[in-house]
Structure 1
Amino acid sequence: MAYSTLGQAAAFHLRRDGLIVAVPPRIAELYTCLQDNPGDPQILSNLATAIDSEAGVNLRLREGLYDFVRERQRPSPLHLQVLGPDQDPDAFKLQAAFNRTLRIALAMRGGVSLAVWIGGCVAELDILRRLRIYKSDVDTDRAGEALVAFYLSGKEGLADDPLAAPVLRRAQAYASLLADARYDKVEFDILAGASAGGLNCILYSVAQMVGAAPDETILETWRSDGGLQELMRPPGRGRVKSILQGNEYFFPSIYRALSQIYRDDHRHQALIPEHLTIDLAATVLDSEPSRNPEVDEGRGSFHFEGRQSTNAEMAKASLMGNRIPTRNGASNGGRGPGTGDDAYDATVLPPGVTEDLARLAYAARATSSFPGAFEPATIYSREDKGGQRLLPRPELPDMRHAFGSHRAASCPADKAMFHVVDGGVFDNIPIGRALTAARGRLSERPAHRALLYLDPDTVRDSTTVSRGEDLSQFMDAVTASVLRLKRRESLDSEVNDYVEYVNVLSLNLGRSEVLAAVLSDGWSKEIGVERRRAYVRYRATSDVDRLTQLLTRPGEWQVASTVNGRRNFRAFGSEELSGFDAKVMQEYLAISRQDEHAAPFQLITNDAQALLDAAQCSFAWLRRMEVESFPENLTNTLTPFDKLRKGVYDVINRAITARDKAYWAVLEGSSGGDILHDKIISAWLSTAETGRLELTRSWTDLETHFIALLEYSQNLTIRAEDTNRAEPELRGWLETPWRDLTQMALTRRPDGSVFGVRDLAPTLAAAGIPPVVTRIRYWRIASDEQPGSAVDYRLLKAGENRSIVGLALKNIQPGHQVPAHLLEPDPANVPSRFKLAGNSMANFSGFLSKEWRENDWWWGRLDAASGISRFLETLSTDEAPRIPELDGDKEQFDESAGKAPRGSQNRVSWLQDRLVEQQFKIKDPSSESRRTARQSVRAGVDGPSDLSASYRLLLMSRGLRVLWRARPGGTVTTALGWLLHILFVPVFVLLPAIVHPARMAFILGFTYASLWVLARPENVGSGIQLILLWLLPLAVLLVIMGAATLTRGKRRWRAVLGELPENSTLLAECRGYSNTAAKKAWLGQWATVLLLVPFVLAVNQARPRMTIVCLVFMLALFLMTQQWANSVPALNHQKNPRLDQVLAAAGLVMAVGVPLVTELTNWSLPHNWLSLIVLAGALLVVALALTIGWLTVAGTLMAALVASAAGTLISWISWIVLEALQLGLLERTTLSLFFAFVAWGLVLWWMPENPRMVLTCCDAVVTVPPPVNP
């Protein structure tokens, strides 16, 4: 490879130990060449190799060369300055550092409670939005131009707040990365979400449009309003539509949060974006039949837009029903930058804002309504034909302008509704929505487009298939394959759409480059006419594509259109449009052959689409000049470059508005039923005639901008052709078609023809009309980002170790071999499943504890910090390519340094250190304090068993009762449901105790003992010899089976231990796990043996029911013993573990001891008043055990006493009735006890439905560090 910059490169020198040494020419040559070929991997590799070869064993020279490269990889000097709410960055009269904006489209995936993680990501990303980078007016001794980064804060005195120091230090690090990439501003102007991601889109959009921060308010909203206890329907006796409250709690909570954000005085006026859009996915349960398959299968959408405006403009404007309200004027008690009212009453929302926030809140509630958990959202949407207004129920908003589907105008107002659930059913990965919105988004300022995808749900099940478990592994494999395939295909499909679009952009760029050679033929009147005729033929194919998309998907266009009306346009099927393309092409071909002054010819070449094509060509021309040379290097005394860009931007917006009117006319023309091709074509073309005045004005404005564009272009061409000027970066301009177009437009010809702005689109159509977005950078920030100090998360790593050991135990191969890869955790990483608390229980677990939600929020910020650093680093590499090996990661750095270090991983560690200081509010940060803080993090490895027993019992008890109230309707279904409810109500009442195993063991043991006494026949002989004859062989058999189980468990543990290296921490932990597992298994085995006593006694007394119950207990214990022997024992975090052990032991003692004592004493309870007392006492104790902790003290006593009394009374009455019917003693005893338990269960089921009896339990996690094995 030859390099023309060798002479210049040889001028590099370095200073080392007081000596000035010339950089070896080869190294200087390669480094200089790298500037012309950014990111070239071969050059990077050659440069690293050259340093090794040139330096040899000369350590001083090697270190000097390293310093030489690193110094050129350092950012420009940058100072961070905080601006309060009353400080306008423009007031400093500084020049923007690069005059280039990074515009980001955020796509937020669904994830139920993992939405909290997304909220944390958004809060960290928002730091970028608050930065503005300018050229400093302060001189610096360092090389490079000094820069100042303004951090726009909504709070006064933030710079003096020690708790804000970690945020400001991260802001400076991000600003440096932005400066490296030559961006001075970041905007998040497109938000696309699905499911819970849509909720975050709504919250963040309102925060943006008022200039507020999305962190504290949103975090507190998740903490206080996102608990399952609050979301669950309150106690009651009426029918309900779902388990969780959608309209009654979720919707008002979101509205309150949005109102609080809107009223927030901690805001900065300069943070309000020019234009912001939201696109949300929805699933429609009762969509109308449509030829559009997406509509027909229930795919729906919401669309909202926000634009800057003054309060006066808001009052005067025709309020669209999909607006994100903005807030202007005073902030934080003083007058902020911008215009608006000086006084703002935070207690009263401005006119229209209440309705706007209600629509946004209800859209968030609808798109986040997980099917089955929340009731479907009721979306009122009807076309407004004839000026009719839709007045839905007072508590629900009119969504016709925000929702993509509409009922007909003839539909009554109370029927004009759709039922909508979670948008993640069909579209849980909204990359496609964000990409679609980004394709046509323009910017009034030079900008590049990026698409960030926030993915909280990255957990992968790494279980391998063990050959020894055919059936279970088959079912597991089928289930896991279906779930994985669904997710992978969805993500792959979305990413493939992005790749295909990027390829199309590259293809268009390549075609335009080829077009440069064709344009050298020159220009004449005849050429102009022929190209316009060709443009008409080109429009035939492009218009067919546009109109076909419009007619088959009218709802998708309408929800994001600029028209004020809303109609229920029918979507046509492709078969109905058969022949439409041929008809259009035939019509356009005939028009192209007409005289150029003919009306149809003029209509096509001057309509809204032609204007839009010409404006897009102008915009692409302008964008290419920005790529070749930044606008500040282009001089024009007539039109400033920024004004030129805004002017073209305005023409494009007007053209889109005019085209939307034409689309509306086409849809109205096709709404009569059968589609008429001639009518559609006529409607499409006629709008150019009806809107001639407005179009003419827009063409005139574009012509003015075109003249200015030519002047700039000529200036750039002169500079590029001047060989005496050192601007080699402009050489690419001479290879573009824009240079030739400039020459054509400025050349005067004998025939008087002039190349004008109306000739742009006909000339460039051969290569395709250039898109407004030339490139989109894709990046994914996920919950599997590698933390900077993984080894410090001791509890999380311990949880990971426990998990991989458990996985290895499940996957022992034949011959007791363990796959080696299962026991190799990455010491430098903490997987997502151990970081986040919300990724279990189908991602609902985050709703169980506010501490878990807060944990996931902070991990969202930590992962976002890592993702932001790596993303911006890739952007800076585009501008100033780097050698990763020399970028600082191998250097030691000061963790407490004021500025972020060089090196990707070092920078991530430094950023996350600052976040830890912010999270734990460390006043005197040090390495040790941060390490201690990280060592205390454990929420990701917590589980439901780490919550208090009372809280778990409350959720389970309330959940089952709400589930019953949400049963389906219908006469037969209702009758059958009540029958089953009455028959099995004792089981339903006992079932919640399963979440507290010790309590359940006590209840089952006590109940079994009580039933043994109450139902024991009188005058039953002991038969001790027969009992021993049964007992001893069965006991021996059980002991042998238990020993075999324990032996198999030990062999599996031995196989795992054998794969671990000696003296490793994991080996020591595994030995402890193995010993604990063996102890638990032995305890379970002996408990099973003890249950032989009541089993044999029941068999001896011919009591089949008690025999079956005892057999079930023994079987359950035996299976649990097998599980304990072959798995890692669970940690016990409870404050009083001994109490649980006593409860379980008491249950076992009663189940075994009471039958044994009654048998040894040959005692039976007489069937008189004494049996009623025993029954009442038994029912009372079990009722107390079931309700203590989640009912009030008075409620517990009342429910237990009433249930006990009801059960005893019913038992007594039924005994009398059955005795009168002359039933036998056994039947009377059995039925009276059954009726007693049914009555007891019904009272205990329904009495807690009194809201005053139910406690609000604390959802705090029980923390007793360090955790101990049971």
Structure 2
Amino acid sequence: VITGTSAGGINGAALALTQVNRQKDPAMLRDLWIDQGRIESLLRQPFRGQPTSLLRGDEYFLPRLHAALEMLSAAATDPPGTCASPREAPIDLSITTTVLRGNEAVSVDSTGQRLPQSLHAARFHWERRPDTPDAADPFAQHQQRRTAHRLALAARSSASFPVAFEPSFVPVGSPDHREPGPGEALTAETTLRPDMADLVRGWGTSRTGDRSRFCVDGGVLANTPTLAALSACEAMPAAGPVRRLMLLVFPHAPEPGLQQPDVMAKPPTVAGAVSGLLGALTAQGGRSYVESLERHNLAAAGRRGARGDILRVIAGEPQPGPVPLQELVAAIYPQYKRLRRWRAGRDLAAWRTGMVDDEFAISDLPPEWNFDRVRSAAERAQDAWEQGTGQRPGRPVPYYPTLPPATTRVGERGWGWGISPALGVAEAVNDLLRRLVWVLPPGPSYDVVESARTDVLQLADLIRAARGHTDDCWQHDPVLLALPPNQSYWRLRLACYDHLMRGTVTLDEIDAEVTALAGVDDDRRAAVRTALAAVLQPHDRPAPGHVGGYVRALVRRVVLRLQPVLGVLKDEIAVLEALDPDLAHWRTVLFPGDNPAATEVDVLLTRLLQLEVASTTLGDEVRSGATLPVELVQVSARTDNPFAEVTRSPADKLGGDAVNRFGGFLKRSWRVNDWIWGRVDGSTILSRTMLDPRRIRRAARVTGYLARRVGPAEARVLAEASVDEVVAGLGLDVAEVATERQLAVDELTEVFRTDIADGDLPSALPHLGALFAWGLHLGSVAEELPALAQAIAADRVDGANPRSRGEVFLAERAELLRRLDQGRLDPAGVSRADRREALTAFDRAGLGSEPMEQEAGSDLVIRTAASAAAVAA
């Protein structure tokens, strides 16, 4: 799951393509950045007309992005199997942008007055789920080259810093940029600038017509699609013990420090005020990530915590088992029904009025309809449907049964619970499977559970997608979208939903609801009947309730995958209960006896539905659609690296940070230097992130490496043996890493001591992670230094300062660089001594901290400054 803003949009596009085409080397981007990122290449020609920016965005930047992403993509003529399948490499990619002339979104006040609002924060979205068919897969081999064209335009539109680059024109529904039909060829313009109508999100109320806009840098506003990313994380396939993390790549993250007060006698200048305002807008982006993540984790913990609390309470009853759960559900079921009706009215109204983060949510709303009026109409329709009015008798609401679940027959027609409870059943099963894979050792029992978990996650995706069978027509069909969302509209939707899910409402009754539509003339009623016929009476003529039957079959498959796992739970309970006491509570509720195989599918489904009713009624609601916590990890130039003694701060590392972060465009060597430090810092953070203390303890327990009780002395012996094996395996010099080794042993000793509770473990093991990262740095820095040497030599030809630190580096390390350059053809032939020397040399080179004032007198800077001044004149 990738989201990219500004320069991160370019990186996100490249990362997505290399995830699908793993034979493509991302280092190609480094070479492109070195060669094509020169400021002189980007600058406009001076004294030509009235320039719209200093740099050539469309003339130079866009074509180069286009070429680069084409290189990372596969062609339709490549051998079959070149690309990873959707199941091997699912992708969810968002690239943000800022719309200059905002897109209009219209809401309505309580008196019916229309309130137009301007939306400037937008994004482009690509999705490749594990079950995406080839025809709909934007990263399929036959479509990937065209996807690369669209990625290039999105990246150009996200990385368009105002004034530096001119605004980027994005065609959306443009008649001049339509896709060619059969037998037609792409023009040069449509190749570089394809229509993006199917990819834009947050693009205003209208979804038809020409909505093309000029866009600028995605980082100008607090544009962070966090909720979309969280939902995408939940939908990704998983097996085994899984953590979900959000890596926030923020190279220039500031150092926390003392906040100085403003001085009243020194108010900001006009320039200072404008700069502060822009800083406030962009700074909120990072904060909104943190706040959204914290809110999500709070809600996810409440939902999952409620299920655990219910199971613990049931297990603590005088007569524990399924009966107390059934009695609890019977008592709270009236509240459950009220809650489902209220949430249905709220959520449908929020979608219809564009108040949710959904690409289909913002649609043309008939005049005089606002959220509260739509919500009230939806609630009244449900109440009237259930209670009856006039000549219409009451009937069950189609997304929950009249009575609480006591006996649920899997073979019954349709599905009377709706999609959310079906997902809740899959979520509960997955919760149990997730707990089991966390504590089971490798072996046959683990394989049974892991296989079941993989299948249940896939089935949950199918259940989630089944919502489209009942909702897509109301979200896409222009005739149905134009209907006023009054009470008769919602009654019609209930009737159609019942027909598809339960099969108790007939087509004649639906036709009567169409006739009863208020505020609609006969011509529009005829159009509604035509629109609904394709959904209710498709060519294959399925029986009423066929969608519900499909959902019921999926839920049945979920329960069937649970059945063999219950045998594992029974056989391993003595060991499992010691590692996770809550597993005994699951057993108490799901199969209180000693023969799980005798527990019928109908019985298991009933108990899971009862648990879902109790969790929904008593637990917190999760609005993002995801119920797993997500950890936040920042990747920045503030990262400490174990080998670095001289270059430690962002100011020491990043040459591109000069000239308001445009220094990277000036010298090739600064661009390569910053690329290398990005690899180094990323490796360190990822190593630290992967080595989670709780996961290490779990692995040590389930493999038998860690006995039931381990004291401080024995824990230190185990830790020393483990760390020494790591040092030897990575080829690290024992004397050089002695201090880091000792600190890593201290960290790991705490993990191996069983008298320290899991909740008392530290959040990370930075020194153990540093050892692993050190081993990675030995390979990556030695691999990159020849490119750095070539860049320094090219800077000399361009007229850079001949006495720069880069030139000193070349002179002092000439012999090392020669050996490393020879090793590019045979990396295994580079000695460990040369790799260690390469790390030391890079640390002491100091290219990132070359003083700008020393470059100011160089031919390169003088020539660049003169050209820029001439362009701006």
TM-score (norm 1): 0.48
Displacement of 1:204 in angstroms is 0.6
2:3 aligned with 1:195: no
The Cα offsets for residues 220-258 of structure 1, whole Å up to 9 and x where unpaired, read as: 121122222222224563444332222222222112111
State the shift of 1:403 in Å.
Answer: 0.8
Report matched runs for 1:141-160 at 5 Å. none
- SS across alignment from 1:838: helix
- Tell me, yes or no, if the aligned pair for 2:6 and 2:96 is still in contact at 8 Å: yes
> Structure 1 residues 545 and 491, CA, compared in 2 at 3 Å: closer, same or farther?
same
Question: Is residue 179–residue 195 contact of structure 2 (8 Å, CA) maintained in 1?
Answer: no
8 Å CA contact retained: 2:246, 2:633: yes
Q: How far has the Cα of 1:302 moved from its partner? A: 0.9
C-alpha distance in 2, partners of 1:466/1:645?
54
Amino acid at match of 2:323: G
Q: Is the 8 A contact 1:670 1:676 kept in 2?
A: no
Does residue 1:952 correspond to 2:861, yes or no?
yes
Counterpart among 213, 227, 251 of residue 418 in structure 1:
213
Distance 1:741 1:359 in 2: 50
| Kept after mapping to 2: 8 A contact 1:944/1:952 | no
1:622-667, Cα deviation, whole Å (9 max, x unpaired): 3323313467779799x95455434433433333333245444444
Are 2:303 and 1:493 equivalent residues in the alignment? no
Which residue matches 2:198? 401
> Is the CA contact 1:206–1:261 (under 8 Å) kept in the aligned structure 2?
yes
Partner of 1:961: 870
The answer to whether 1:626 aligns with 2:434 is yes
Report the Cα distance in structure 2 between the residues aligned to 1:608 and 1:858, rounded to whole angstroms: 58
SS in 1 for 2:635: strand
Larger Rg: 1
Letter of the 1:682 partner, please give it: L
Matches of 1:944 and 1:428 in 2, distance apart?
A: 36
Residue in 1 that maps onto 2:156? 365
Q: What's the counterpart of residue 382 of structure 1? A: 173
Residue in structure 2 matched with residue 767 of structure 1 by the alignment: 618
Q: Could you say which residue in structure 2 is the equivalent of 1:755?
A: 606
Give the Cα separation in 1 of the matches to 2:117 and 2:416.
Answer: 29
Counterpart of 1:401, as a letter, is D
State the Cα distance separating 1:602 from its structure 2 match.
3.5
Contact 2:54/2:165 (8 A) holds in 1: yes
List runs of 5+ in structure 1 lacking aligned partners.
1-189, 328-349, 562-567, 794-829, 965-1270
CA contact (8 A) 1:449 1:773 kept: no
Partner of 1:227: 38
Q: CA shift at 1:576, angstroms?
A: 0.9
Instruction: Please state whether the residue corresponding to 1:375 is helix, strand or coil.
Output: coil
Name which of structure 1's ranges 238-247 and 429-438 shifts more when overlaid on structure 2. Answer: 429-438
AA matched with 1:381: V
Using the TM superposition, name which of 885-894 and 197-206 deviates more.
Answer: 885-894
**Does residue 601 in structure 1 map to residue 397 in structure 2?**
yes
Q: In the alignment, which of 645, 662, 674 is matched to residue 453 of structure 2?
A: 645
Measure, in 1, the Cα distance between the counterparts of 2:49 and 2:495. Answer: 59
| Identity within the alignment, % | 17
- Asked if the contact 1:441–1:773 (Cα under 8 Å) also holds between the matched residues in 2, the reply is no
Cα distance in 1 between the residues matched to 2:70 and 2:454: 33
Kindly provide the amino acid, as one letter, of the partner of residue 620 in structure 1. A
> Which residue of the partner structure matches residue 102 of structure 2?
287
- The answer to whether 1:693 aligns with 2:546 is yes
Q: 1:959-1011: CA deviations, max 9, x gaps? A: 233334xxxxxxxxxxxxxxxxxxxxxxxxxxxxxxxxxxxxxxxxxxxxxxx
Residue 879 of structure 1, aligned match among 690, 698, 701: 698
Secondary structure at the aligned position of 1:286 is classed as: strand
> Which residues of 2 match residues 1113-1132 of structure 1 at below 5 A?
none
- Asked if the contact 2:385–2:491 (Cα under 8 Å) also holds between the matched residues in 1, the reply is no
Partner secondary structure for residue 297 of structure 1: strand
Change (3 A) 1:279 1:295: farther
Q: Matches of residues 926-945 of structure 1 in structure 2 within 5 Å?
A: 926=833, 927-928=836-837, 930-943=839-852, 945=854
- Which of these residues, 579, 587, 610, is aligned with residue 729 of structure 1? 579
1:39-188 superposed matches below 5 A: none
The RMSD of aligned alpha carbons is 4.8
Please say if residues 710 and 742 of structure 1, whose CA atoms lie closer than 8 Å, have aligned partners that are also in contact. Answer: no
1:587 and 1:701 map into 2 onto residues whose CA distance is 29
* Alignment partner of 1:789 is 2:643: yes
Q: Which of these residues, 589, 592, 604, is aligned with residue 740 of structure 1?
A: 589
The answer to whether the 8 A contact 1:609-1:655 is kept is: no
Give me the whole-angstrom Cα distance separating, in 2, the residues matched to 1:752 and 1:306. 36
Change (3 A) 1:476 1:372: closer
Q: Is the 8 A contact 1:789 1:909 kept in 2?
A: yes
Question: How far did 1:938 drift?
Answer: 2.0
Query: Contact between 1:211 and 1:271, CA under 8 Å: does it hold in 2?
Result: no
Q: 1:367 to 1:698 in 2, by over 3 A?
A: same
- Whether the 8 Å contact between 2:33 and 2:671 is mirrored in structure 1 is yes
Is contact 1:290-1:571 (8 Å) kept?
A: no
Contact 1:450–1:778 (CA under 8 A) maintained in structure 2: yes
Task: Select which of 6, 10, 18 maps to 1:207.
Answer: 18
Task: Report how many aligned residue pairs link the two structures.
Answer: 689
Mapping for residues 505-516 of structure 1, pairs under 5 Å: 505-516=300-311
Counterpart in 1 of 2:121?
299
**Aligned CA distance change for structure 1 residues 850 and 533 (closer, same or farther; 3 Å):** same
SS at match of 1:255: helix
- Structure 1 residues 609, 913: CA separation in 2 closer, same or farther (over 3 Å shift)? farther
Equivalent positions of 1:255-274 (< 5 A) are 255-263=66-74, 273-274=88-89
2:640 counterpart of 1:776: no
Kept in 1: contact 2:399–2:416 (CA 8 A): no
Give the conservation status (yes or no) of the 8 Å contact 1:210–1:262: yes
SS at match of 2:781: helix
3-state SS in 2 of match to 1:774: coil
Contact 2:249 2:636 in 1 (8 A): yes
Name 1:658's counterpart in structure 2: 466
Q: CA deviation at 1:697?
A: 2.2
- The alpha-carbon deviation at position 192 of structure 1 amounts to 0.9
Distance 1:472 1:538 in 2: 53
Mark the CA change 1:914 to 1:521 in structure 2 (over 3 Å): closer, same or farther.
Answer: closer
Distance 1:931 1:753 in 2: 62
The answer as to 2:708 corresponding to 1:843 is: no
What is the rounded CA distance, in whole Å, between the counterparts of 2:415 and 2:125 in structure 1? 27
Structure 1 contact 369–377 (Cα < 8 Å) conserved? yes
Q: Distance in 2 between matches of 1:370 and 1:473?
A: 24
The one of 543, 547, 570 equivalent to 2:364 is 570
Partner residue, 2:147: 356
**Deviation of the 1:209 alpha carbon:** 0.8
Letter in 2 for 1:879: R
> Cα–Cα, structure 1 residues 262 and 476, in superposed 2: closer, same or farther, change >3 Å?
closer
Alignment partners' CA distance in 1, 2:857 and 2:116: 46
Aligned partners of 2:117, 2:217: CA distance in 1, in Å? 15
- How far residue 200 of structure 1 moved from its aligned partner, in angstroms, is 0.5
Contact 2:364 2:481 in 1 (8 A): yes
Alpha-carbon distance change, 872 to 407 in structure 1, aligned in 2, over 3 angstroms = closer
Report the Cα offset of residue 515 of structure 1: 1.7
Tell me if 1:703 matches 2:535: no
User: What code does the residue aligned with 1:549 have?
Assistant: A
Q: 1:69-92 deviations in whole A, cap 9, x for unaligned?
A: xxxxxxxxxxxxxxxxxxxxxxxx
1:858 Cα shift?
Answer: 0.6
Structure 1: distance between partners of 2:459 and 2:18? 30
Superposed displacement of residue 197, structure 1: 0.8
Match of residue 299, structure 2, among 481, 504, 528: 504
Rounded Cα–Cα distance in structure 1 between residues aligned with 2:851 and 2:204 = 46
Q: Distance in 2 between matches of 1:598 and 1:523?
A: 32
Q: In structure 2, how many angstroms separate the alpha carbons of the residues matched to 1:669 and 1:632?
A: 57
CA distance in 1, matches of 2:306, 2:633: 27
- Mapped contact 1:603–1:685 kept (Cα < 8 A): no
Unmatched tracts of structure 2, length 5 or more: 108-114, 315-319, 402-413, 501-534, 536-544, 701-709, 745-765, 787-819, 821-829
Is the deviation greater in 494-503 or in 290-299?
290-299
Q: 1-side partners of 2:589 and 2:225: how far apart?
A: 41
Deviations along 1:875-895, one digit per CA (max 9) or x if unpaired, are 545637999999679999899
Q: Tell me, what secondary structure is at the counterpart of 1:447? A: coil
Preserved contact between residue 444 and residue 646 of structure 1 (Cα < 8 Å): yes
